Amino acid sequence: MRFKASIQNISLLSKVTGALSIVGKVGVLQLNDESVQIIVLAADNQSQVWSHITIDAVFLDYKIASASGNVINLEVPLDTLHRSLKSAQTASFTSASIRLTKKENIPRLSLTITTETPASMNPAIIIQDIPVRVLAPQTVAHLTKPVVPRPETSVILPTLSQLRGITDRYVKMVGPNGRIVLEGNMNGVLRMKADSDAVKVESEWRGLMNPAVGEDGEMEWDDSDEQLDQQTTQEKANFSTVRVDSKEWAKVVRVCAAGKRVIAWLCNNHALVVYVFMGDDGDNNATIIYYVSSFTS
Amino acid sequence: MSTLNITLNPVAVDRLYEALNCMSKFGDYVTLEAKRNKLNLRTLNPTHSAHIHICLAGDTFCDAYNFVPDPSKLGGSQSFGSNGSQSSSVRQEEGAFICKMNVRALLPVFRGRYVQEAVNKERDEGFVQGIEKCEISLHEKPDKVQCRLIVKLFCRQGVMKTFRLQYEEADIMRATFRKEWAVNKWTIRAGELKKWMEHFGPKTEHLQISPEEKTVNFTSYTEKVIDGSQILKTPLQTSIELGLIEFSDFQVTAETHIAIAVKDFKSIVSHAGTFDQVQIQAAYAEAGQPMQITYDQSGMFCEFTLMTRKRGATGPAGSGRAEPVAKIMTHKSMSAAGGARTRETSAVPIKMQPSSAGPSSRNNSVTPGPAPLPTPSMAPPPSVAPAASRGMSRPSPVSTEMPPPPSRTTPRVGSVSAASGSFLNRDSPSLSSRQLSASLGLRGSLPPRQSQSLFLMEEDDDDDLFGPTPGGADNEIERLLDDDDDEDVLGWDASLGAPERVSFVELQERAVNADKGPTHVGRKDQEAQSQEESGSYVEPTQRKNVVKGLFD
């Protein structure tokens, strides 16, 4: 089992791991010939986060080999990984590489960062060894991306700094284990509602963009229903509703804030799926997909 | 009654706060020692593996400094230079005022928000209040009921804040450190080192410093054993390779790999980093012997004495403070000219018994024998352990309470015990010389002690496994003798630089050590070595804990 690569876009990798470390402490890192996936599963099974990075977007000289079809599955501590990547965030950073190794009997992802010292401009090398656990293929065999129906509503979320400020207040109001209701339609309207014993609040955004479902690559849905792409005016005005845990929604918003472009799918009474495009161009090279299941009212 | 009046300007107040803040990361108490021309602040961490001494010069740090010793405490003992350096006796300058305060009580008083340009800009940005000056005065009353240290802050707009702080009597703890043995030295700009240290994660325990051909390697590691399910909680292991060119000065013998606590080192470096352009100087001998880090600016002299260890040597892993106990004290009396073993630093705690009779002219320090090398061969007799355990169990005792016999720390490694007792020396004139004196005569016949072994020796596997072993009769005798030894041994500031005298016993020990030395070197098997050594650093009580932690 071998994995070795140099990192050409460490800030992108750092952004992705930073966002994922908001979601959970441990993630499953899947490496194969074509892409890198990081999967974070919530303990309560209410949400899953799938992050997908194309190799060319981040790595150079990517070499992988393993007995199971050049696939390596690792369990990684996300905050440690993120912290170690921060070592590269200096002005004097010159290059970085990563490889799978074993030290003191603990498998580690070894990150080598070369920088220049500020005074003398001489190279200095920082090595960060992140402990990982190697997972057998059968251990991760059950991990499959959630399947969602074609969403009734697809909407680009409002300005994220604004959304975050408002969300934080909602979370405080509804308290722990509170519910937040999201409603949206294809006329560019999104509502956020909190309804607790003590307080009832509602915010509404209008004029949001409604991207066509699937206009971006990598978006997947269960198309068995063969819905028509052309919705009637009536259908467009219909609101689809999801109810999510307030803490979870706060996390979603924080992850969104790290992205360049964010599309939310509201699958009526079923699930909230948030696509976060992390790349500077908002392209598909690095995405985080946040699946949250909706509570039934 | 001693008189103490200090006036500080706002910048000095901020500096003082930074110093106290740094000390608070090591110990809960800070000992103040006022002398004629300077104020010494000291603290010792709970495991006695780190000793901090910060000296505020009366003339350059303070706007005004006036200390008049208590006349009733003067006389009797010989007085030493005001600089306190290297007097043969342990006792501090005559009449010095010594007290102990909780450092956390002091922090809010001086919290660094009094200057326009805060020393620590990151923390204090946008948080500026003005004071014009700070006056510190001592109100010591004979009846001892109303004694207070009074701090007055004169703020803008005529507001004055007054803090009346309680203090306790205290003994002085000093770290002894043999500069002449510390052949390995390096100097680097603090600001730069601080930036490098930021790469180290929060939970990692130890920092190994290893010179290589053209570079120096700073590597963090953790010795805590982590089982499979917790593997992902293993702290980030960081390694930084810096070119020697980054150092203003770098002289370290090859193969000298030492390890210290990351947390301690970071605390020191971040404090040093609050000074502009200050250079940190480090000096040490070899793993298992103390390292001293010094820097100074604007009348503040900072000196950190840290115990070092060798990677692989086990400490009380569970405790998180794995370091060997303070080996900090050395015998001043020993002459550097140890012959073969010139480099070793001996950490000897000094003990003083206040209760004992008259002041002796000599310092009582418990001298550890010649410092034993960390080599396995040096392993101290198991018997040492009991002594050590005793010492350990005792929280830093008030000096007066220290029982004389136990207090004598055997120089042996086990001596950590001594550390608690010994560290807190009482400088009070009342020290009895008698304990010390007896030992000299006897020593000749005794087998050489391995004073340093307390920390270093660990060879004894038995020791590790079972904690203190019942001491042999010999040990008892030795311990007793050791007390007597105190007379001979002069402890404390290695830095003082007074000429050292070597006792016969010490010479003997050194010779023995020297003989052993080669064997040590010969050993190639690092692992085996380290394993053996590992036991040595841990005190018996701690070891038990460790064992428990591992298997629980």
DSSP per-residue string spanning A190-225: EEEEEE-SS-EEEEEE-S---PPTT-STT---B-TT
In A106-165, the residues whose Cβ lies within 8 Å of chain B are 106, 108, 117-120, 122-133
Question: Do the Cβ atoms of B243 and A83 come within 8 Å?
Answer: no
Distance from CA of B536 to the nearest CA of A (A): 22
Nearest to B503 by CA among B194, B105, B204, B88: B88
CA distance A119 to chain B (A): 8
Query: What are the phi and psi torsion angles at B109 (to 5°)?
Result: -65, -40
ipTM of the complex model? 0.83
Residues in chain B with CB shorter than 8 Å from the CB of A79 are none
Q: How confident is the model at residue B528 (pLDDT cuts 50, 70, 90)?
A: very low
Confidence tier at B448 by pLDDT (50, 70, 90)? very low
Question: How far from B185 is each of A154, A282, B188, B192, B265, CA to CA, in Å?
Answer: 65, 52, 10, 17, 16
Give the pair of three-digit tokens for residue B248. 């203003």
Find the closest chain B residue to A126 by CA distance: B240
Band the pLDDT of A16: cuts 50, 70, 90: very high
Residue-wise pLDDT tens digits, A36-94: 999 999 877 889 999 999 999 999 999 999 888 889 999 999 999 999 998 888 778 88
Interface touch B246/A118, C-beta < 8 Å: no
pLDDT for B119 equals 54
Taking 90 as the threshold, does the pLDDT of residue A283 lie above it? no
Query: If pLDDT is split at 50, 70 and 90, which confidence band does B321 have?
Result: very low
Q: Which of A7-11, A229-233, B134-138, B289-293 has the lowest average pLDDT?
A: A229-233
Let me know: does A201 contact A170? Beta carbons within 8 Å.
yes
- Report how far residue B177's alpha carbon sits from residue B331's, in angstroms, rounded to the nearest whole number: 8
Residue B102's pLDDT band (cuts 50, 70, 90): very high
A234 contacts: CB under 8 Å, gap ≥ 6: none
B231, B245, B311, B314, best to mutate vs chain A, most A CBs in 10 Å: B231
Residue A55's φ and ψ, nearest 5 degrees, are -60, -40
pLDDT value at position A216?
Answer: 61
The overall average pLDDT reported for chain B is: 63
Residues of chain B in contact with residue A80, where contact means CB-CB under 8 angstroms, are 201, 232, 235-236
> Is residue A214's pLDDT more than 50?
yes
Q: Is B552 a residue whose pLDDT tops 60?
A: no
> Is the model more confident about B269 or about B506?
B269
* pLDDT of the residue at B475: 43
Residue B494 pLDDT more than 70? no
Whether B236 sits inside 8 A of A26 (CB atoms) is no
Contact A120 B233 (CB under 8 A): no
Q: How far is B274 from chain A (nearest CA, A)?
A: 18
Domains of chain B: 3-165 (3.70.10.10), 179-288 (3.70.10.10), 339-551 (no CATH)
**Which tens digit of pLDDT belongs to each residue from A98-117?**
999 988 888 999 999 998 87
pLDDT at B224: 75
Chain B CA closest to residue A106: B231
* CA–CA gap between residue B160 and residue A69 (Å, rounded): 75
Range from A112-126, A208-222, B265-279 carrying the lowest mean pLDDT: A208-222
The DSSP element (H or E) to which B107 belongs, if any, is: helix B103-110
Choose among B231, B238, B245: nearest Cβ to A122.
B245
CATH class of the domain defined by A2-140: alpha beta
Q: Does B253 touch chain A (CB under 8 A)?
A: no
Distance CA B15, CA B272 (A): 11
Q: How confident is the model at residue B345 (pLDDT cuts 50, 70, 90)?
A: very low
Residues of B with Cβ-Cβ distance to A82 under 8 angstroms:
none
Residues B258 and A123: their CA atoms lie apart, in Å, by 24
Contact B243 A130 (CB under 8 A): no
In this predicted model, what pLDDT tens digit does every residue of B183-219 receive, in sequence order? Answer: 899 999 998 889 889 899 888 889 999 998 888 999 9
Instruction: Say if residue B536's pLDDT is above 70.
Output: no
Contacts of B248 in chain A (CB under 8 A): none
What are the residue ranges spanned by the domains of chain A?
Answer: 2-140, 153-293
Structure confidence at residue B467 (pLDDT): 31
Tell which B residues from 6 to 65 touch A, by Cβ distance under 8 Å: none
- State how far residue A52 is from chain B, nearest Cα, in angstroms: 22
**Strand B279-284 vs strand A179-184: parallel, antiparallel, or unpaired?**
unpaired
Please report residues of A whose CB lies closer than 8 A to that of B223.
Answer: none
Chain A contact for B203 (CB, 8 A cutoff): no
Q: In this predicted model, which residue has the larger pLDDT, B270 or B455?
A: B270
Query: Tokens for A138?
Result: 């059968």
Cα separation, A248 vs A260, in Å, equals 20
Q: Which residues on adjacent β-strands are paired with residue B161?
A: B153
Query: Between A111 and A217, where is the model more confident?
Result: A111
Phi, psi of B232 (to 5 degrees): -75, -10
Region B24-42: mean pLDDT is: 91
Say which of B199, B226, B234 has its CB closest to residue A126: B199
Whether the pLDDT of residue B78 is over 50: the answer is: no
Backbone angles phi, psi at A201, to 5 degrees: -135, 150
pLDDT at position B447, please?
37
pLDDT of res. B155: 80
pLDDT band at B94 (very low <50, low <70, confident <90, very high): low
Query: Edge to edge, what strands does the sheet with A133-135 contain?
Result: A133-135, A72-77, A26-31, A35-41, A47-54, A286-293, A271-277, A261-267, A153-156
Asked whether the beta carbons of residue B236 and residue A118 sit closer than 8 angstroms, the reply is no
- The b/e string for A35-59 (b: 16+ C-beta within 10 A; e otherwise) is bbbbbbbbeeeebbbbbbbbbebbb
CB contact under 8 A, B246 and A122: yes
Helices and strands in chain A: count of H runs, count of E runs? 6, 18
pLDDT value, residue B9 = 86
A75 contacts in chain B (CB < 8 Å):
232
- Give the pLDDT confidence score for residue B442 in this predicted structure: 33
Nearest to B242 among A124, A128, A132 (CB): A124
- pLDDT exceeds 60 at position B478: no
Minimum Cα–Cα distance from A116: chain B residue: B242
Contact B232 A106 (CB under 8 A): no
Assign domain A153-293 to a CATH class: alpha beta
Q: Which residues from B are below 8 Å from A123, CB to CB?
A: 243
How far off is chain A from B301, nearest CA to CA, in Å? 26
Q: Any idea which of A94-103, B279-288, B289-298, B538-547 has the lowest mean pLDDT? A: B538-547
Residue B278 C-alpha, separation from nearest chain A C-alpha, in angstroms: 15
pLDDT confidence band for B71 (50 / 70 / 90): confident
Q: Is the pLDDT of residue A265 over 50?
A: yes
The burial class, CB within 10 Å (0-12 / 13-18 / 19+), for B441 is exposed
pLDDT-based confidence at A261, cuts 50/70/90?
A: confident
Q: Which residue has the tokens 């490098």?
A: B196
Closest-CA distance, A21 to chain B, in angstroms, reads 14
pLDDT for res B344: 36
Q: Judge whether A2-140 and A153-293 match in fold.
A: yes
Q: Which range is least confidently modeled, A216-220, A259-263, B144-148?
A: A216-220
Give the pLDDT band of residue B522 (cuts 50, 70, 90). very low
Percent of chain B scoring above 70 in pLDDT: 48
User: How far from chain centre, in Å, is Cα B485?
Assistant: 21
B225 touches chain A (CB under 8 A): no
Q: What percent of chain A has pLDDT over 90?
A: 49
Establish if B214 touches chain A: CB-CB under 8 angstroms.
no
- Quote the minimal CA–CA distance from A77 to chain B in Å: 6
pLDDT of residue A88: 87
pLDDT at A281: 79
How far is A122 from A126, CA to CA, in rounded Å? 13
Determine the pLDDT at residue A6. Answer: 94
A199: left (phi over 0), alpha (psi -120 to 50) or beta: beta
- pLDDT of res. B514: 53
pLDDT of residue B268: 94
Given a cut of 70, whether residue A172 has pLDDT beyond it is yes
Nearest-CA distance from B307 to chain A in Å? 25
Quick one: pLDDT band at residue B117, thresholds 50, 70, 90? low
For residue B441, what pLDDT is reported?
33
Percent of chain B with pLDDT over 90: 19
3-class DSSP assignment, residue B183:
coil
Q: Give the tokens for residue B129.
A: 């209040």
Q: What is the mean pLDDT of residues B512-533?
A: 45
**Among B231, B234, B245, whose Cβ lies nearest the Cβ of A120?**
B245
Pairwise CB contact (< 8 Å): B238 & A26: no
What single string gives the DSSP state of each residue in B334-345? S-S--GGGTT--
Q: How many residues does chain A have?
A: 297
> Shortest Cα distance from B215 to chain A (angstroms)?
9
Mean pLDDT rounded to a whole number for chain A: 87
Q: Characterize B330-367 residue by residue with b for buried, 16 or more Cβ atoms within 10 angstroms of its Cβ, and e for exposed.
A: bbbbbbbebeebbbbbbbbbbbbbbebeebbebbbbbb
Q: Is the pLDDT of residue B123 over 60?
A: no
Please tell me which residue of chain A has the smallest CA distance to B242.
A124
* Highest mean pLDDT, choosing among A8-12, B275-279, B344-348, B541-545: A8-12
A21 touches chain B (CB under 8 A): no
B352 has a pLDDT exceeding 60? no
Query: Is B201's Cβ below 8 Å from some Cβ in A?
Result: yes
pLDDT at B115: 54
Per-residue confidence (pLDDT) for residue B129, from 0 to 100 = 59
Helices (H), B311-447: 384-393, 404-407, 416-423, 434-443
Q: What is the pLDDT of residue B291?
A: 92
Give the gap in angstroms from C-alpha A37 to the nearest C-alpha of chain B.
19
What percentage of chain A has pLDDT greater than the value 70?
Answer: 93
pLDDT reported for residue A112: 94
Residue type at B299 in one-letter notation: G
Calpha distance B109→B432 (Å, rounded): 38
- Determine contact, residues B330/B305, Cβ cutoff 8 Å: no
Nearest to B260 by CA among B294, B219, B231: B219
How big is the A-B interface in CB pairs under 8 Å?
Answer: 74
If one compares B161 and B520, the residue with the highest pLDDT of the two is: B161
Set of chain B residues whose Cβ sits within 8 Å of the Cβ of A73: none
Average confidence (pLDDT) over B531-538: 41
Whether B60 shows a pLDDT value over 50: the answer reads yes
Q: Which of A251-260, B295-304, B376-385 has the lowest mean pLDDT?
A: B376-385
Q: Are A38 and A140 in contact (CB under 8 A)?
A: no
Q: What is the DSSP letter of B71?
A: G
The band of B110, judged by pLDDT with boundaries at 50, 70 and 90, is confident
The mean pLDDT value for B317-334 works out to 37
